[in-house]
Structure 1
Amino acid sequence: MNSSKKKTLRTSDIMTCALARILRDGENVFHGVSSHMPMVAVMLAKTLHAPNLNHLNIPGGVNPKTIKDAHYSSAGLELLNGAEAAFPLSEVFDLSMRGKLDVAFLSGVQFDVNGNVNASVIGDYNKPKVRLPGGAGSAVLIPTAKKALIWRTKHDKRTFVEKVDFVTTRGNLYKIVTPLCVFEFKNGRLVLDTIHPTSSLEEVMENTGFEVVCDDIRYTPEPTVEELNMLKVIDPSDLRSKEF
């Protein structure tokens, strides 16, 4: 890719579109609090290619009509606007444990080569350097959802490590979308799925704390004109970029 075109591509757009494309029509998809990028990705998928996707969220509004006013949280009452039904959070956990939750959007602070997720502590558990928020719903949803879809807006050797400092949860890890690439969990380990057009294999390797392996060198498709235009409609406040 030429450098001028590379500069025009925004990481937040690449990540949002990559997340949206993973979602399939008819799936039950849940995102939690502080999940602006997944929230926008769900709306993008539902608008462009997955009209029968069921958008589930913490306030409980199933398939809200708009997210335009969700300025402060991805778990606000805006997600009840025009909703088709009410489905409270407690029912989401039950749905997942019954094997009916297709995708759960979750995150963490550390991820290791074996797909373990740390959202608890950095350092020794009894004398940690940093005490993190903890697993919350991820300890239930990652093991029980059909696909745990992770997004993380930081990609460095402190985030992607050989072994996490503490295993908060593990389970049906599917893919991790980062500012540099997409990892896939395959045969018991994270492998490189695609490299973003704004990055390179060398950059991914330099910023990953475990050996990067892949079957083929493939690149994440660039956002299409249709996707970019729709993002302006459904996310005029650019909520998808809040974490950067």
Structure 2
Amino acid sequence: MRTSYSVSDIMTCALARMLKDGETVFHGVSSHLPMVAIQLAKHMQAPNLVHLNIPGGVNPSSLKKASYSSAGADLVTGAEAYFPLDEVFDLSMRGKLDVAFLGGVQFDVHGNVNASVIGDYRQPKVRLPGGAGSAVLIPTAKKIILWRTKHDKRTFVERVDFVTTRGNLWKIVTPLCIFEFRHGKLHLDSIHPTSSLEEVRANTGFELLYDEIKYTPPPSKRELDVLKKIDPYEYRALEFQLNR
């Protein structure tokens, strides 16, 4: 009998498995999936991982009272130390930030990321928040992991409407699959067990590149048990609710 799990569980576990013991990892605002994934990794394969976040908490003790924004004072209260955002940028520029979790709204096969506008820049249909810290972190962090809780042809496009940032990507995790950036292009790395090659292709606006068809391992019972413990209010699912 298959253990029950959700797409948010699959994405959280996939993100957590990408982290190694001893790495220093940062997430920003509206980042519930990475926030929970970091804690999952610390309880699984990476107990010595260092968790940094926007409000400046280093290794927050618990997510059970984490704020809705994933950037509240809760992540500082009970943390091991205080490390403000400007120091995170400096850390990354010195080559000492191992992983940064960042978002975006549009992506293309060449690894360009748009978080600025939809449509023409001077007369946009939608004006987005912009790159913020991405302009510093994407070029300088050792590994950039992007995630997006929507996967459709408006998100994964032939060419982004505006290049907010580019290059130095590693993985993009979506509700359907994982992409890996290599040789200057996005390649299909694995398909989630709840999806299929046909579904990924139908919802991607560029031609899929892949060497072989692989599937993302489903969450294990231990991973699901740990998720219930560290994220009892299922903050990892909030981003899906916001995108309805």
**Counterpart residue identity of residue 225, structure 1:** K
Residues 68 and 236 of structure 1 are in contact (CA less than 8 Å); yes or no, is this contact kept in structure 2?
yes
Distance, in Å, in 2 between the alignment partners of 1:47 and 1:80 is 19
**Secondary structure at the counterpart of residue 125 of structure 2:** strand
TM-score, structure 1 as length reference:
0.96
In the alignment, which residue of structure 2 is the partner of 1:106? 102
1:151 aligns with 2:147: yes
Q: Give, in angstroms, the shift of residue 82 of structure 1.
A: 2.1
1:215 aligns with 2:211: yes
In the alignment, which residue of structure 2 is the partner of 1:51? 47
Q: Give, in angstroms, the shift of residue 227 of structure 1.
A: 0.3
1:166 aligns with 2:162: yes
In the alignment, which residue of structure 1 is the partner of 2:221? 225
**Counterpart residue identity of residue 9, structure 1:** Y
In the alignment, which residue of structure 2 is the partner of 1:238? 234
Residues 28 and 101 of structure 1 are in contact (CA less than 8 Å); yes or no, is this contact kept in structure 2?
yes
Q: 1:26 aligns with which of 6, 22, 31?
A: 22
Q: Give, in angstroms, the shift of residue 5 of structure 1.
A: 4.9
Residues 162 and 209 of structure 1 are in contact (CA less than 8 Å); yes or no, is this contact kept in structure 2?
yes
In the alignment, which residue of structure 2 is the partner of 1:176? 172
Distance, in Å, in 1 between the alignment partners of 2:116 and 2:219 is 34
Any idea what the Cα deviations from partners look like across 1:25-60, whole Å, max 9, x if unmatched? 111100001101100000000111101110000111
**Secondary structure at the counterpart of residue 132 of structure 2:** coil
In the alignment, which residue of structure 2 is the partner of 1:14? 10
In the alignment, which residue of structure 1 is the partner of 2:119? 123
- Corresponding residue pairs, total: 240
TM-score, structure 2 as length reference:
0.96
Distance, in Å, in 2 between the alignment partners of 1:105 and 1:82 is 22
Distance, in Å, in 2 between the alignment partners of 1:5 and 1:240 is 21
Residues 71 and 239 of structure 1 are in contact (CA less than 8 Å); yes or no, is this contact kept in structure 2?
no
- Identity rate, percent: 74
**Counterpart residue identity of residue 112, structure 1:** D
Q: Give, in angstroms, the shift of residue 85 of structure 1.
A: 1.2
Q: Give, in angstroms, the shift of residue 72 of structure 1.
A: 1.3
Q: Give, in angstroms, the shift of residue 71 of structure 1.
A: 3.7
**Secondary structure at the counterpart of residue 201 of structure 2:** helix
Gaps of 5+ in 2: none
Distance, in Å, in 1 between the alignment partners of 2:199 and 2:134 is 29
Identify the range of structure 1 (71-80 vs 207-216) with the bigger mean alpha-carbon deviation. Answer: 71-80
In the alignment, which residue of structure 2 is the partner of 1:81? 77
**Counterpart residue identity of residue 208, structure 1:** T
Residues 64 and 83 of structure 1 are in contact (CA less than 8 Å); yes or no, is this contact kept in structure 2?
yes
Distance, in Å, in 1 between the alignment partners of 2:152 and 2:98 is 29
Distance, in Å, in 1 between the alignment partners of 2:93 and 2:22 is 19
> Which ranges of 4 or more aligned residues in structure 1 deviate by more than 3 Å?
none
In the alignment, which residue of structure 2 is the partner of 1:140? 136
